[in-house]
Amino acid sequence: MNPLPRLFGRTRRYTDIDVSIEEHIQERADELEAEGMPRKQAEQAARREFGNVSLLQQRSREQWQWPALESLMADLKFTLRRLRKSPGFAITVLLTLAIGIGANTAVFSVINGVLLKPLPYPDSGRLVALWLNAPGAAGLANFESGLRLSESMFFTFSEHNQSFESLGVWVQNTANVTGIAQPEEVHAILISNGLLETLNVPPALGRWLSPVDQDPHGSKRVMLSYGYWQRRFGGDKSVIGRSLQLDSQSREIVGVMPRGFRVVDNDFDLLVPLQFDRSTAILAGFGYNGIARLKPGVSISQANADVSRLIETWMHSFRNGPGSNPFYYRVWRISPDFHPLKQQVVGSITGVLWVVMATVGLVMLIACVNIANLLLVRADSRQNELAVRAALGAGRGRIARELLVESIALGMMGGLFALGVAFGGLKFLVAFGPANLPRLSEVTLDGGSLLFALVLSIFSGLFFGSIPAMKYSTIRAIAALSGSKRTASDSRARHRSRNILVVAQVAMALVLLVSALLMIRTFAALRSVDPGFSDPARTETVRISVPELLVADQIQVTHLLNEISDKIAAVPGVQSAAFAGAAPMEGIDPNWDEMAAEGKVYAGGEPPLRLFNYVSPGFFKTMGTQIVAGREYTWDDAYGLRNNIIVSENFARENWGSPQAAVGKRIRQFSKMPWQIIVGVAQDVRHNGVDEKTPEIIYWPAMYNSPYTQKPTIDGLRAVTFAVRSNRAGTEALVSDIQRAVWSVNANLPVAAPGTMEVIYSKSMARTSFTLTMLAIAGSMALLLGIIGIYGVISYAVSQRTREIGIRLALGAQKSELKWMFVRSAMALTAAGVVIGLISAAAVTQSMKSLLFGISPLDPLTYLTMPLVLCVAAAVASYLPARRAANVNPVYALRVD
């Protein structure tokens, strides 16, 4: 029979049954009355003859029901009624679950969005990042994560490879847009031919930049991002064909990319063609990120093999300039090390995210254990009821099912509330997560997250429900019913499962606490590292760049920057102002190349590569970087092209033993170059972040003779970071004062990326502080839950053993002894948990090695402190209920049943 009409016709059927039965009884009563029985008596007799009326009605109705489902519904109704009757229990459990499941769902959403989902490009599994290994080019931090591509490599690889459908390179840049309202610095991404084809996302409007637009002698074109199109042009469709003043050059807009399109996780305002010129390309200039789309069926290792044979072709096809040896790069041992694009985008955050996921997962487990404990206590108080039901014939399955229905219902309700928590938690994670968290814009609470929350709700319900269900479904009716509570305390067996849960809880809490303290100690170690500058909160930074088309002559550019620097220094409240190619930890490496010390012989004939920075006079003073020997630059060093140079302390020690000995020594870049005389040695600076090693740095003046051209040419800084030391750092007012100072010199120069060194400094520790925050939250939650668990177990034991306590007191037991009895049992459980926890922590923290700095994963202080904290907490948590036991009044206690 079709179940739907059956369900809806049911009320009518039930009425039919009742009417039929009622008529039956009345008719029988009529008969008996006719035989001479009084009416009332006749009706009673008729009912007796009929049997158990309501039972037969029930059985008749059951013909129209699905018995399994209906009794499940009844269980559910019963559960809800029981929960309403104990709101304290219900709220505790639901809140715990909502937070636990919510936190897990939020973190899972991040992991799903960042790590699991494919990149938002068609068939993104075939996209690879073109990174190269160059183990022979030691000396630079950059090379630890690979060597990027040069222009000539792009030409060689894209012309000769057999593995890729398409291949392109890109680099991030900033550009000045003028002519629309105020001058503005925008994020541009410079792209080569083949890049858009590789990503393969069609434009929202107009067309892609085409090979024609890449012709270095062709006309200048540009594409807009969706955001920039909306912001600057209000989404006007007639924008195609119009022109834009970019770095003082007019460019025609040919297309708009769709909303959400990013170049390998980088937002941008404009896409600008690189317009590579094959005729001037040289071997060097490894500054371009390469990506490619594999042909179907081609593996990454095949592509690696394909491109590795092209390295020789590349050295045969290009030069670094007349007279240079193109095969010099054999020393570098360049080999392709391509990996999936997703791996490059996601990068080092993978470890952090899994640690966070494991952490919240562990908290969830502890929370479930707590709930299981509460349910055990609850089931315990129902022991008599369950025993009666078992005696009346309820099967094991029936009782287990009811207990499980209760826990799964709790799990699902908790899961429902958890969605709210997850939504809020995700907002929190997105707002406070590491600023460099990749793919952040792709993180949402989607179907995957909902499914995760549902599955987690059901499984946690099953998990914490199965413990009491297993225990109480096998209850032996006779034992439970006949055992008088008046005569005995509970048996050991009754406490065993609760005790095991507490031990597990303590162990898990300890693992979290140890991990949290390790992160705290890591953070402290990072903070105590001297970054090589001082008072970051009082140092404001801004970026300014002078386009070549605005001011062509380098000497004029230097004068312009000098003038700006003086104007900013004259702003009220500013102590000093200076500029450099890059500020420390800003993520910019202005240049790097080899640098030879006079009289030194290098293994392999070539000196190692060094990081180059370019600084104006007063930059070290403004940053608070100590000059450990010699002096800072003067403007005369720059304008006079004096061949004076400043080096970092570690470079000086490496070559001459001490900073003082380095002053007056000579170094040079290439053998044709004049010697540079060291005039100063600057304190080591953690240029790549506090947790990275300090690079050896060569500081050039703001203007110098270019080593890269045939004829002597003057080169110098154009794109700079200004550092401004002031008590007003970090205020809007100071930024607008700086802006006015800049505009008073040249009104076409935008001031970009305002911030303080403090912000840059914290950003470099963002990963650590994020992990730290998450672990600290999780650790405190675990500690709290663990304390609640211990408190609950001891407090329940006290309430169950009130009689025993009364007897002991009546027989003359000391109160302090009684207290100690309970505290001791708690301490025994804690000690067992601590031992297991310490062993697990030692194993688990090995996987955190890459997140730690300056301490070992087996840091003794951490492994001593945290067990101590837990033991103290456990002592307090057990002392409170134990004190209650000691205050029991024996007369009252003996009356208790």
Which residues contact other proteins (rule: CB under 8 A)? 1, 6, 13, 16-17, 19-21, 23-24, 26-28, 30, 49-53, 56-57, 59-64, 67
**Smallest distance from the beta carbon of 23 to other proteins, in angstroms?**
4
CA-to-CA distance for 128 and 293, rounded, in angstroms? 6
**Smallest distance from the beta carbon of 409 to other proteins, in angstroms?**
25
Buried b (16+ CB within 10 A) or exposed e, 205-227: bbebbeeebbeeeeeebbbbbbe
**Smallest distance from the beta carbon of 866 to other proteins, in angstroms?**
57
**Smallest distance from the beta carbon of 56 to other proteins, in angstroms?**
4
**Smallest distance from the beta carbon of 30 to other proteins, in angstroms?**
6
**E strand map for 571-690:** 574-580, 591-594, 596-597, 609-615, 627-630, 644-648, 666-668, 676-682
**Smallest distance from the beta carbon of 48 to other proteins, in angstroms?**
11
Asked if residue 246 lies in contact with residue 750, where contact means CB atoms within 8 angstroms, the answer is: no
Nearest Cα residue to 453 out of 93, 779, 100: 100
- Return the number of other C-beta atoms located less than 10 Å from residue 7's C-beta: 12
Asked if residue 57 lies in contact with residue 17, where contact means CB atoms within 8 angstroms, the answer is: yes
Nearest Cα residue to 375 out of 476, 462, 505: 462
Q: What is the DSSP letter of 112?
A: I
Residue (30 or 490) nearer to other proteins, CB: 30
Residue (60 or 275) nearer to other proteins, CB: 60
- 525 burial level (CB within 10 Å; 0-12, 13-18, 19+): middle
First-to-final CA distance of the chain: 55
| Integer CA distances (angstroms), 813 to 156, 491, 864, in order | 92, 21, 36
CA-to-CA distance for 298 and 11, rounded, in angstroms? 67
Residue (6 or 740) nearer to other proteins, CB: 6
Residue (62 or 312) nearer to other proteins, CB: 62
| AA letter at 127 | L
**Smallest distance from the beta carbon of 4 to other proteins, in angstroms?**
14
Asked if residue 710 lies in contact with residue 540, where contact means CB atoms within 8 angstroms, the answer is: no
Residue (8 or 492) nearer to other proteins, CB: 8
**Smallest distance from the beta carbon of 55 to other proteins, in angstroms?**
8
Alpha-helical runs (H) found in 382-446 = 383-391, 396-432
Which residues are within 8 A (CB) of 847 and not within 5 positions of it... i.e. 6 or more apart?
355
**Smallest distance from the beta carbon of 388 to other proteins, in angstroms?**
22
**Smallest distance from the beta carbon of 401 to other proteins, in angstroms?**
16
Residue (21 or 714) nearer to other proteins, CB: 21
Nearest Cα residue to 745 out of 539, 548, 551: 551
Asked if residue 282 lies in contact with residue 317, where contact means CB atoms within 8 angstroms, the answer is: no
Residue (21 or 500) nearer to other proteins, CB: 21
Nearest Cα residue to 567 out of 715, 720, 755, 722: 722
Which residues are within 8 A (CB) of 154 and not within 5 positions of it... i.e. 6 or more apart?
167, 168, 169, 192, 276, 288, 290
Asked if residue 650 lies in contact with residue 701, where contact means CB atoms within 8 angstroms, the answer is: no
| Integer CA distances (angstroms), 735 to 448, 542, 585, 722, 724, in order | 44, 8, 21, 12, 10
**Smallest distance from the beta carbon of 390 to other proteins, in angstroms?**
20
Residue (25 or 875) nearer to other proteins, CB: 25
Residue (26 or 856) nearer to other proteins, CB: 26
Residue (20 or 744) nearer to other proteins, CB: 20
**Smallest distance from the beta carbon of 424 to other proteins, in angstroms?**
48
Biggest CA pair distance of the chain: 139
- Return the number of other C-beta atoms located less than 10 Å from residue 409's C-beta: 17
**Smallest distance from the beta carbon of 469 to other proteins, in angstroms?**
24
**Smallest distance from the beta carbon of 29 to other proteins, in angstroms?**
11
Residue (24 or 476) nearer to other proteins, CB: 24
DSSP, collapsed to helix, strand or coil, labels residue 783 as helix
Q: Give, in degrees to the nearest 5, the angle at Cα 325 between 323 and 326.
A: 120
Residue (46 or 445) nearer to other proteins, CB: 46
**Smallest distance from the beta carbon of 397 to other proteins, in angstroms?**
15
Residue (50 or 892) nearer to other proteins, CB: 50
Residue (52 or 162) nearer to other proteins, CB: 52
CA-to-CA distance for 119 and 383, rounded, in angstroms? 55
Residue (55 or 431) nearer to other proteins, CB: 55
- The 3-state secondary structure of 220-272 reads CEEEECHHHHHHHHCCCHHHCCCEEEECCEEEEEEEECCCCCCECCECCCEEE
**Smallest distance from the beta carbon of 9 to other proteins, in angstroms?**
10
| AA letter at 130 | L
CA-to-CA distance for 798 and 821, rounded, in angstroms? 10
Residue (60 or 847) nearer to other proteins, CB: 60
Which residues are within 8 A (CB) of 395 and not within 5 positions of it... i.e. 6 or more apart?
none
Q: What is the DSSP letter of 124?
A: G
Residue (12 or 84) nearer to other proteins, CB: 12
**Smallest distance from the beta carbon of 22 to other proteins, in angstroms?**
8
Residue (47 or 642) nearer to other proteins, CB: 47
**Smallest distance from the beta carbon of 869 to other proteins, in angstroms?**
58
Residue 406 phi/psi, 5-degree rounding, is: -60, -45
